[in-house]
Amino acid sequence: MKKILIVYYSQSGQLTQIVKNFAKPFEQNGNYKVSFASIKPVKKYPFPWTGYKFFDAFAESVDKIPCEIKPLEIAENDFDLIVLAYSVWYMMPSIPFNSFLLSGQAKELFKGKPVITLLGVRNMWVVAQEYVKSKIYELGGKLIGNIVLRDRAENLTGIITISYFLFSGKKDRFLGFFPKPGISEKDICSAEKFGEHVKENIENENLDGLQENLIKEKAVKINPYLATTEQMAYKRVFTKWSKFIRGKGEAGNPARKIRVRMFAFYFPFAILVIAPIEYIFFIIFAPFRLKKIRKDIQYFSGVKLKSNE
């Protein structure tokens, strides 16, 4: 019997739905035993978010500062496959998920094990995935597959709808006419299809060819503009803001309130004003960068890590 461990942190419940659907093909087959392990912070992050706490989590997300988490509730440490399901906070894995990656328990679980990443995100995820890739290899695991379920709303529309979801907790149509926020129910259900493809590859003993098959099934779609933008924004903007904020203390420290609020004003300005300008420049210069764009699409669609190539 093949033993599969699915590790995840779901703040809103959306990722839990994805995980449960992904696992269905395995649970319906007597040759597999699936263990679910939910990451639980000692101090819970609120959902819905309050405005200040949402922005106060920025610096620790960007700088990959862990929070205290409870040990995973699992009966054993030896699995045939590990599935890591996560969401993205400020271009990095959520703080609780990253805290697990940095834990001693993760070191015990990963060595020599094949790993699949399963993402539930808005639209920017390549920077976070590069970090997760590096941690998997550092822990001794081997990444064999990546599946990305995302919010399909156009960027600016998605900002409005996801903000409504994060601060209200409601997944209905904002003002009655905006699209429903987050990942669609259809795409959430599609996780079962990808689970079936993973199962088929396991049974055909073709784990090395898994990601190629997943790409054919459109499990990953790279937006070159967003991939380029988030890499630049993380390195040139987010890391500077995080350092500025943390210069006045750690999360929850009243001394950094002014700086957190400054970032809260900057963040929507960057999305609504700076990002569209960058998009225009990207379109203008894209014809001169086609070779690099194609290379980036191929790389980010895959599971290799540049330092390991």
Domain map (residue ranges) of the chain: 2-150+184-226+296-308
Listing DSSP states for 268-304 in one string gives: HHIIIIIHHHHHHHHHHHGGGSHHHHHHHHHHHHS--
- What pLDDT, on the 0 to 100 scale, is given for residue 145? 97
**What's the pLDDT tens digit per position in 88-121?**
999 999 999 999 999 999 999 999 999 999 999 9
pTM of the entire predicted model: 0.93
Least confident of 68-77, 125-134, 255-264: 68-77
Give the dihedral sign, CA 162/168/172/175.
negative
pLDDT at 309 over 60: no
Fold of 2-150+184-226+296-308: Rossmann fold (3.40.50)
In whole angstroms, what is the distance from residue 86 CA to residue 146 CA?
11
Return the DSSP state at 41.
B
**What's the pLDDT tens digit per position in 233-284?**
999 999 999 999 999 999 999 999 999 999 999 998 888 888 888 889 888 9
What confidence tier does 179 reach under pLDDT thresholds 50, 70, 90? confident
pLDDT averaged over every residue in the chain: 93
In whole angstroms, what is the distance from residue 69 CA to residue 78 CA?
21
